């Protein structure tokens, strides 16, 4: 009997698990927010992931439950756990991806290098942290942020007055002086086996990932070792199962610090679909089913992924496909079946090449056809 | 608006189009024989492909219709044509894949190298052909054969008496003395653009493909050129749209002769999923939608595909997955969601390696875990 994987959330991460599930002969189910979800190609149930009964009914048809996003409420996760559902990552791990204050506290306990941080519950807390960190800080809501949402660069507590008014604590972090951003992806099975892809460079625009370069240029040696060591310690220390993405700062003084964590396939790993022997989507499915992990070796010298953000101002995304494919026969175009909105991730392009500059030019060129 | 592709037939070829359709953001529909078809992961209608009304109703929801198999009857294809449905390959091309006598006649007109052949309608026809070809022949039913079915090696008309009794003509071919079998895949768009993958070597066991090696060892130079020239002439001459697989004999006197044709993705091209920049499944979808074709460059030095035939005598195919993945982290395992039966194609394994022998050993090793 094939194993039945259920994914909560019908976004592009669930969608990109479909090919991997198809190949491995798994049965694949999605609990989606709406009938026109990105993952609608798979066997889809439409329902509210914040409703425990809905999620329990969905989970009863599956052997394991995993996630497209981190927003399933704790009370729903607890109900699943009480019902004996196999959940990966487990709620006790997922907690640290849902709550950034809990994550910072736990990473401190584990001695993982990270920016200076503090819990702030008042304007005085904020102003004190800002004063002791050169007059600025990064303020974050502990929950619900993604793609730059829930993050502000501040120089005064006035700029987070609305957040403080809600009564919830906020997270303050030093504004790290970094050379670039990196991401280290790791997959870990319940039995403990883990596998890492090479560390990659990520480029952000307006708080959203715009490009990923694999492997990170000049990432061999100490940087590679530090990034891998951090990812292993986080995955083991937090008991993460499935894919864990560790977003990192490479500082101007050559340290590697943890920026964010995601416990699921991640934008920084989309290049693995064509670029690695085992993609992050296949590896995630293998990991959550406790199947042996696959090789993470690269299929090319340089691999570049460019996000398609927003889409055309007029006409449909698909209308641009002929031109993009015509001009870039090497480009692997991925469209997520989503309606374009300014800044929304609606697809991506991956190119493998012997020369990094060629891969960058082709991937940007092909992605550019889908944007105005 | 994304284009809507409808596939008639729910076998593994339709199934393996799902990842390509997912990536390109296409809407994908399957008219399957049964609810437990191999392609059931996609949006599936269950119905009889020999019933014109069923097929017409299915086609109305699609922008283009293509095929998982060649068995759709001519009257159904005619009804689709009359209704203005876009069909690729078109019925006038598909005819030559459905009727081997028609194919031999047309290839003769085109001057394509092929085995000596004859149409036989009587025992006397058969015995005369056998006598003039060294005492043996290959007899084929013109329609309905696949994977060695409908093919007999004969030395007397007695051995096809049952076929002759039906009153239908049969095809006789010389028993070619061949060194090995090859396959040349080509994709062609309605607008005429075509793209070829390198010629591959195919290994058959009991009339069924068991292994494919890409590129064919020693296939560079004259062999490559002859195979490509034949495929281009067949695709153009028969006006094939989509993927065309040309199965070839490499004779002991170094000629290349056409054995069989298939107008759809083909077992000899499964290696392209990981082994080429553009897989045969993506290329087929691009071609039938008249989208620009993708690069057919290889992703590795040597690529080997081994079929999983039959499956375990006891237990489920999926039960063997952990061991196979454990021992072969480089292997890409594909299971088709089909129930094992002796000799049935239920999956395949592809391995890319720098050294051919390594790829062969790993692919055979991994596939072996699924068979007894």
CA-closest candidate to residue B173, choices B160, B161, B162 = B160
pLDDT, tens digit, 9 for 90 and up, residues B317-343: 999 999 999 999 999 999 999 989 888
Q: Is a pLDDT exceeding 80 seen at residue B1? A: no
Question: How many other C-beta atoms lie within 10 A of the C-beta of residue B279?
Answer: 26
Query: According to the model, what pLDDT value does residue A315 have?
Result: 77
Contacts of B201 by beta carbon, 8 Å cutoff, 6+ apart: B180, B181, B182, B212, B213, B214, B216, B217, B219
Task: Specify whether the backbone of B192 is left (phi greater than 0), alpha (psi in -120 to 50) or beta.
Answer: left
* Average pLDDT of the residues of chain A: 95
* Mean pLDDT, range B273-297, rounded to an integer: 98
Q: How far is CA A331 from CA A128, B25, B186, B275, B341, in A?
A: 50, 15, 20, 15, 39
Q: Is a pLDDT exceeding 70 seen at residue A148? A: no
CA-closest candidate to residue B46, choices B28, B66, B31, B62 = B31
pTM for this one? 0.95
Q: How confident is the model at residue B207 (pLDDT cuts 50, 70, 90)?
A: confident
Distance from CA of B330 to the nearest CA of A (A): 5
pLDDT, tens digit, 9 for 90 and up, residues A167-189: 999 999 999 999 999 999 999 99
* Domains of chain B (ranges, CATH numbers): 4-87 (3.40.50.20), 116-173 (3.30.1490.20), 178-368 (3.30.470.20)
- Return the SS3 of B28: strand
Q: For residue B23, which phi and psi values (nearest 5 degrees)?
A: -60, -45
Q: Is a pLDDT exceeding 70 seen at residue A280? A: yes
CA-closest candidate to residue B307, choices B215, B209, B185 = B209
Q: Which of B25, B297, B335 sits opposite A24 (nearest CB)?
A: B335
Inter-residue contact A142 to A170 (CB < 8 Å): yes
ipTM of the complex: 0.93
Inter-residue contact B199 to B215 (CB < 8 Å): yes
Q: Which of A25, A41, A278 sits opposite B317 (nearest CB)?
A: A25
pLDDT, tens digit, 9 for 90 and up, residues B234-264: 999 999 999 999 999 999 998 999 999 999 9
Question: Residue A2: its chain B contacts at CB < 8 A?
Answer: 316-318, 335, 337
- Return the SS3 of A153: strand
Percent of chain A scored above 70 by pLDDT?
99
Based on C-alpha coordinates, what's the Rg of chain B? 20
Distance from CA of A255 to the nearest CA of B (A): 33
Q: Is a pLDDT exceeding 80 seen at residue A204? A: yes
Task: Find the residue in A nearest to B17 (Cα).
Answer: A19
* Mean pLDDT, range B296-302, rounded to an integer: 97
Q: Where are the beta strands (DSSP E) in B189-342?
A: 194-196, 200-205, 208-214, 242-251, 256-262, 302-309, 332-335
Q: How far is CA A327 from CA A346, A347, A351, A361, A372, in A?
A: 20, 18, 13, 12, 17
CB–CB contact B334 A28 (8 Å): no
User: Which residue matches tokens 């690269």?
Assistant: A298
Question: How many other C-beta atoms lie within 10 A of the C-beta of residue B180?
Answer: 18
Q: Is a pLDDT exceeding 90 seen at residue B355? A: yes
CA-closest candidate to residue A293, choices A195, A186, A198 = A195
pLDDT, tens digit, 9 for 90 and up, residues A245-260: 999 999 999 899 999 9
How far is the C-alpha of B85 from the C-alpha of A329, rounded, in Å? 28
* Average pLDDT of the residues of chain B: 95
pLDDT, tens digit, 9 for 90 and up, residues B164-192: 999 999 999 999 999 999 999 999 999 99
Q: Which of A22, A297, A316 sits opposite B19 (nearest CB)?
A: A22
- Return the SS3 of B174: coil
Query: According to the model, what pLDDT value does residue A145 have?
Result: 66
Q: How far is CA B140 from CA A304, B122, B132, B146, B257, in A?
A: 50, 14, 18, 10, 17
Window from A97-106, B41-50, B267-276 with minimum mean pLDDT:
B41-50
Q: Is a pLDDT exceeding 70 seen at residue A199? A: yes
Torsion of CA B61, B67, B73, B74, to 10 degrees: 80
Query: According to the model, what pLDDT value does residue A120 have?
Result: 97
């Amino acid at each position: 009997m094939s194993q039945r994987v259920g994914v909560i959330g019908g976004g592009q991460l669930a969608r990109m698990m479909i090919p991997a599930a198809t190949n491995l002969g798994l049965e694949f189910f999605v609990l989606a927010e709406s009938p026109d979800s990105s993952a609608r190609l798979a066997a889809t149930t439409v329902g509210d992931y914040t409703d425990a009964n809905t999620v329990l009914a969905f989970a009863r048809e599956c052997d394991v439950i995993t996630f497209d996003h981190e927003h399933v409420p704790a009370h729903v996760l607890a109900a699943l756990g009480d019902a004996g559902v196999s959940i990966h990552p487990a709620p006790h791990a997922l907690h640290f991806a849902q709550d950034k204050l809990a994550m910072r506290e736990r990473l401190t306990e584990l001695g993982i290098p990270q920016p200076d941080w503090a819990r702030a519950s008042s304007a005085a807390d904020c102003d004190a942290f800002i004063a002791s960190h050169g007059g600025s800080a990064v303020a974050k809501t502990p929950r619900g942020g993604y793609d730059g949402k829930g993050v502000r660069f501040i120089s005064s507590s006035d700029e987070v007055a609305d957040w403080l008014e809600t009564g919830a604590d906020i997270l303050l972090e030093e504004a790290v002086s970094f050379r670039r951003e990196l991401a280290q992806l790791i997959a870990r099975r319940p039995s403990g086996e883990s596998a890492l892809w090479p560390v990659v460079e990520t480029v952000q625009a307006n708080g959203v990932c715009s490009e990923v370069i694999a492997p990170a240029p000049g990432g061999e040696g100490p940087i590679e070792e530090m990034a891998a060591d951090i990812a292993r310690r986080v995955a083991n220390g937090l008991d993460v199962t499935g894919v864990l993405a560790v977003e990192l700062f490479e500082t101007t003084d050559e340290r590697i610090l943890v920026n964010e964590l995601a416990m699921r396939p991640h934008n920084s790993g989309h290049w693995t679909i064509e670029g690695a022997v085992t993609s992050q989507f296949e590896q995630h499915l293998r990991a959550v089913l406790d199947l042996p992990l696959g090789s993470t070796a690269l299929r090319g010298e340089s691999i570049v992924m460019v996000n398609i953000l927003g889409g055309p101002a007029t006409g449909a995304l698909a209308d641009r496909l002929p031109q993009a494919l015509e001009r870039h026969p090497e480009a692997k175009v991925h469209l997520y079946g989503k309606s374009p909105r300014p800044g929304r991730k609606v697809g991506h392009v991956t190119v493998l090449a012997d020369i990094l500059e060629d891969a960058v030019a082709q991937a940007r060129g092909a992605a550019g056809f889908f944007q105005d």
